[in-house]
Amino acid sequence: AGTVGGLAGALFAFYIQFISPENFKPIETFLMWAMIIVGGRGNFMGAIAGAVVIQLFNVSTRFLGNYVPLGSDSMAALRMTIIGVLIILFLLYRPEGLIKEKKKIYD
């Protein structure tokens, strides 16, 4: 997991071409934790599935601002609230995430 995190950080740094502490706001950390919790903590496919689900939700709700009579700040707050509720629901009813951890034979 640490190797994948390091590789992801290196790819992110290459993508944005500059790293500073301002790049990592608490909301980014919240979204990354949401991706891991929703997808499943036990394997890489779970993390990828969680990232796809959360990112699709995040991007698709940006277009709702044209149809819902809320300001951009209110819409962003509503989006994060829904993601927070989704995290709580997954922790209560599906703690293993979308993709369960594989059983290890040697245990």
For residue range 35-76, list pLDDT tens digits in order: 888 988 777 888 889 889 999 988 888 777 777 777 777 888
pLDDT level of residue 104 (50, 70, 90 thresholds): confident
pLDDT level of residue 92 (50, 70, 90 thresholds): very high
Tokens describing residue 57: 């939700």
DSSP 43-91: SHHHHHHHHHHHHHHHHHHHGGGGTS---HHHHHHHHHHHHHHHHHHHH
pLDDT level of residue 107 (50, 70, 90 thresholds): low
Q: What is the CA radius of gyration of the chain?
A: 16
More confident residue, 106 or 32: 32
Confirm if 83 and 54 have CB atoms less than 8 A apart.
yes
Tokens describing residue 33: 């934790």
Instruction: Categorise residue 97: left if φ over 0, alpha if ψ from -120 to 50, beta otherwise.
Output: left
Q: What is the pLDDT of residue 1?
A: 53
Percentage of the chain exceeding pLDDT 70? 95
B/e letters for 38-60, b = 16+ CB within 10 Å, e = fewer, are bbbebbeebbebbbebbeeebee
